[in-house]
Structure 1
Amino acid sequence: MSYGTRKPHFVLVPLFAQGHMIPMIDLARLLALRGMVVSVVTTPRNTARFKAMIDRANAAGLLIRFAELRFPCAEVGLSEGCENVDLLPSEELARNFFAGLNMLREPLLVYLRQQCSKPSCIISDACCPWTSEVARELRVPRLVFHGPSCFFLLCTHNVSKHKSGGHLADAFEPFLVPGFPHKLEVVRAQSLKFFDYPGWEKLRDEAAEAEASADGLVINSFRELEAAYIDSYQKALEKKVWAIGPVCLSNNETGDEVARGNNTNVDENQIRNWLDAKETGSVIYVSFGSIASHSSSHLIEIGLGLEASKRPFIWVIKEKEMSPEVASWLSEGFEERTSWRGLILKGWAPQMLILSHPSVGGFMTHCGWNSTLEAVSVGVPMITWPHFADQFLNEKLVVEVLRIGVALKINMSIPRITGDSEGLITREEVEKAVSELLDGGAEGEERRKRAKELGEKAKKAMEGGQSCEDLTLMIRHALELAEEGRLPVHRSSS
């Protein structure tokens, strides 16, 4: 296929949430490494978070640019600057945020029509169904990028067809997922699709329609990890699925690991030197993503459990979690008592830099797919504590199927953990989980071996393996459709 001197132009539209934006930026880098021009749709606050990373890519000769749009905060009742999910002051404002996202349709159309280089393809997050109209008006192919695991996508697809009434009394009644590649027992309350909640029906239906009309689906995973689920999902949707991950392995330079995701005020040399002084596989890394927040009592229980474990640890505490009570507790003894083996990072942390260090032997995580796949990609086993959405099913994949994790709280009957949730975990449970993961006898050794083997498979997939092949096939498919789009015959989106 010849494009003459014009490079193909891919436009990426992420959901403005860190767990969705980070892999989309990684995908931008993968496309640019294949010679594509890539435009990533952002807003001023989101541009600032990723500017260092994009600047490094451009300095290396990669053609990645920001398509920066103004986010209509005032128009939807948000304070100025609320341009990312983690910047919302309360969950109640999520509907306002998605209403603002939907209002970007016209500004994006105007922006793209003004560009000298017509888009060859739009790849949009599954949570941005409004992009289907943009692609239709521009007559360009559109692919849907899914942030969650294919395990989650297939399970929730099949569960949505499960006929059990759906009443509140059934929310935590276990049942087997119909049509799944293997036996899997779930509860409905923890196995819902995105937006499958009261009040979100319109967005749920729009997302389903946008997926059904897409020209293909892109997932951040690899076949060696999820082959059975990928094949089943393709069959269920009658839609091609390309697994092109783990995309986090597209960044193997130290500077990219540090800049990846947000600006950080921590000294990477301090972290590296601290880890260098620890024994191989001895450190537990504790971080629960950018959105989940905890009550003061939960943070204190986590800290006391880490202290009781007597293991070295790196613990990330978000700025919004740093209440006067927590700050006082940290400064009035905890930091001093654990200073010889504990490192507390306040704010954003360079997660891949930490996880990929040989001294890290385990990761206590909320099971967001981005964090889960980062751990898988470097062969680190996990302690799982899911908080909402896809995280409960990701835990099942990690603990029950892959058997590379230990659940912090077994059979937790709750659909969502919020910042004011109380009494869900204890220091004894934290201590026990850390000891089981880092020691665990023969079972622990087997768990570490399985995690290491998956990490090796992930690297092979990205270094000339199946994920590389899927990326090639995805690009070829999109560009062939773009060629068809030049013809005067209207191309159906089905």
Structure 2
Amino acid sequence: MTKKMIDNIEPSSGPQKPHFVLVPLFAQGHMIPMTDLACLLAARGALVTIVTSPVNSARIKSYVDRANADGLLIRLAELHFPCAEVGLPEGSENVDLVTTSEKMEKFFLAMSMLTEPLVAYLRQQWPKPTCLVCDSCNPWTRDVARELGLRRFIFHGPSCFFLLCSHNVHEYASSGDVPGDIFKPFFVPGLPQKIEVVRVQALRFFDHPGWEKFLEQKTEAEATADGLIINTFRELEAPFLDLYQSALGKTIWHIGPVSLANKEPEDAILRGDKTIAEEAERISNWLDAKDTASVIYVSFGTIVTNSPSHTLEIGTGLEASNRPFIWVIKQWDISPEVEKWLPELEERTMSRGLILKAWAPQVMILSHPSVGAFLTHCGWNSTLEAVSFGVPMITWPHLTDQFLNENLVVKVLRTGVSLKPQMKTPLVWGESEGLITREDVELAMEAVMDEGEEAQAIRQRAKQLALEAKRAMEPGGSSYESLTLMIQHALDSAVSAPDPDPDSKDATVPNV
């Protein structure tokens, strides 16, 4: 995102300046990689508009302001989010601010109601949009693209491994190769190697009762898209990219890891939430004082919750490991029981433990040489960030794509270990109990951080993948070239949109 980065990337050529409009799902794990993609596109000479809302705009504004100060052209299209119109509390503009399944349905309804405001906004823009890049969870953007005569690319946040596996499980569901019992183990069909799962761990997103109509809309929107963009790199998922592209019959561009768009420490700090900048120096100084690859980093993302008993087991396991650690605990994981116990743990581990009770600068932490392992829920952003910096993982998936991501890390890439290998049942929003123990936590940490032969092999494989990730994003690398092809395809196939009001050419971007 910095001047240094721009100098290393060739700008787009030709008289037409591409204008990409990015429409993320308003969820932190979706907005962050989309914002990274905006910086990658802008660094190639494109104008980028990110569709957002007041609450979400406030979260990424500092990051975008810094990008613009460095010479990139990124706009924020701040649309009114219709909370009151659908019966949501005001300010419920992000998935992490929605607390119940009933409210979640209203949230997605509110997202779809952005169709008309977005069409009206884009009609006024100059240069007119070249194409839309839409989160796969925003099927309503199909209507926006049709109304404006624009190409539409789908941006997928999950791994290609997950997309392929869940696709194959669905396609083979009636063939007898996939059992009807959702808890009976089977091998995912159509893969080059044996990956055993239970069906409940390999469902497509939104493949749940009550979401049938939305899943149908999502599937149709993907089938009619002009191509797919996936945050991954070829060296990581080559066979799965090829198989998924063949299965869908659509062009796939692999353009990641997009987190590597953050070349400077300030970028990593501002990414996600400007409030973490206040803590960044303290965290960095703490890490600087630790030995290389000695620190265990523990974080479970923005959505996953843990029961009080599991939180206690994690903390006790960290204490028993006698290793330095950074532990990110979300406020809603701090029950009265945990709130009473946590200060005691902090007191006992104050010389080697750092407990953070807010959003952490994860890229900054994972990129620090003192970090030697990452206990993670296996969300794809977190997984790919760990891969990018060569950090071995201890995997504890909770829901959706996280189980298949664990299989990719542990069985395919072999850059981590499972916290609980025999676990077959997804957690339900922190309600499950007794699934892990402090002994599980301690043993898993030793399995990736001791001096044994297997632990050393895991660390070496992780370091090699990090080198390949960085090469993929450099000029001539697989993801760099794939992004070039995606930009060129957008330019070559752009459909003329209605001419905007000429008076809007020099206007600043208005709030809608």
Task: State the TM-score, normalized to the length of structure 1.
Answer: 0.95
Kindly provide the amino acid, as one letter, of the partner of residue 364 in structure 2.
L
Q: Does 1:114 pair with 2:119?
A: no
What is the distance in 2 between the residues matched to 1:163 and 1:392?
A: 19
Residue of structure 2 in register with 1:438 after alignment: 449
What is the distance in 2 between the residues matched to 1:163 and 1:334?
A: 48
From 20, 35, 60, give the equivalent of 1:10: 20
Kindly provide the amino acid, as one letter, of the partner of residue 479 in structure 1.
L
What is the distance in 2 between the residues matched to 1:433 and 1:381?
A: 11
Q: Does 1:472 pair with 2:484?
A: yes
Displacement of 1:245 = 0.3
Residue of structure 2 in register with 1:257 after alignment: 268
What is the distance in 1 between the residues matched to 2:159 and 2:459?
A: 21
Residues 58-77 of structure 1 aligned to structure 2 (within 5 Å): 58-77=68-87
**What are the superposed Cα offsets for residues 101-126 of structure 1, whole Å, 9 maximum, x if unpaired?**
11111111111112232110100000
Residues 359-398 of structure 1 aligned to structure 2 (within 5 Å): 359-398=370-409
What is the distance in 1 between the residues matched to 2:213 and 2:317?
A: 43
Displacement of 1:184 = 2.0
Query: What is the DSSP-based 3-state SS (H/G/I as helix, E as strand, rest coil) of the residue aligned with 2:440?
Result: helix
Q: Does 1:128 pair with 2:111?
A: no
Residues 92-111 of structure 1 aligned to structure 2 (within 5 Å): 92-111=102-121
Unpaired runs of at least 5, structure 1? 488-494
**What are the superposed Cα offsets for residues 331-354 of structure 1, whole Å, 9 maximum, x if unpaired?**
2x2111000000001111000110
Q: Does 1:282 pair with 2:275?
A: no
CA contact (8 A) 2:128 2:497 kept: no
What is the distance in 2 between the residues matched to 1:58 and 1:356?
A: 24
Q: Does 1:184 pair with 2:195?
A: yes
CA contact (8 A) 1:181 1:232 kept: no
Residues 31-46 of structure 1 aligned to structure 2 (within 5 Å): 31-46=41-56
Displacement of 1:404 = 0.5
Residue of structure 2 in register with 1:490 after alignment: none
**What are the superposed Cα offsets for residues 132-157 of structure 1, whole Å, 9 maximum, x if unpaired?**
11011111110000000000001111
Displacement of 1:8 = 1.6
Residues 190-339 of structure 1 aligned to structure 2 (within 5 Å): 190-265=201-276, 266-331=278-343, 333-339=344-350
| RMSD of aligned residue pairs (Cα, Å) | 1.8
Query: What is the DSSP-based 3-state SS (H/G/I as helix, E as strand, rest coil) of the residue aligned with 1:79?
Result: coil
Residue of structure 2 in register with 1:492 after alignment: none
Displacement of 1:485 = 4.0
What is the distance in 2 between the residues matched to 1:272 and 1:20?
A: 26
Residue of structure 2 in register with 1:491 after alignment: none
Query: What is the DSSP-based 3-state SS (H/G/I as helix, E as strand, rest coil) of the residue aligned with 2:42?
Result: helix
CA contact (8 A) 1:263 1:348 kept: no
Query: What is the DSSP-based 3-state SS (H/G/I as helix, E as strand, rest coil) of the residue aligned with 1:170?
Result: coil
Displacement of 1:163 = 3.0
Residue of structure 1 in register with 2:359 after alignment: 348
What is the distance in 1 between the residues matched to 2:207 and 2:356?
A: 35
Q: Does 1:407 pair with 2:418?
A: yes
What is the distance in 1 between the residues matched to 2:389 and 2:309?
A: 32
Query: What is the DSSP-based 3-state SS (H/G/I as helix, E as strand, rest coil) of the residue aligned with 1:66?
Result: strand
Displacement of 1:256 = 0.8
Q: Does 1:20 pair with 2:46?
A: no
Identity of aligned residues (%): 63
CA contact (8 A) 1:276 1:359 kept: yes
CA contact (8 A) 1:264 1:350 kept: no
Kindly provide the amino acid, as one letter, of the partner of residue 193 in structure 1.
R
CA contact (8 A) 1:217 1:242 kept: yes
Farther-moved stretch of structure 1 (50-59 vs 318-327):
318-327
CA contact (8 A) 1:264 1:347 kept: no
What is the distance in 1 between the residues matched to 2:390 and 2:382?
A: 12
What is the distance in 2 between the residues matched to 1:413 and 1:93?
A: 28
Task: State the TM-score, normalized to the length of structure 2.
Answer: 0.92
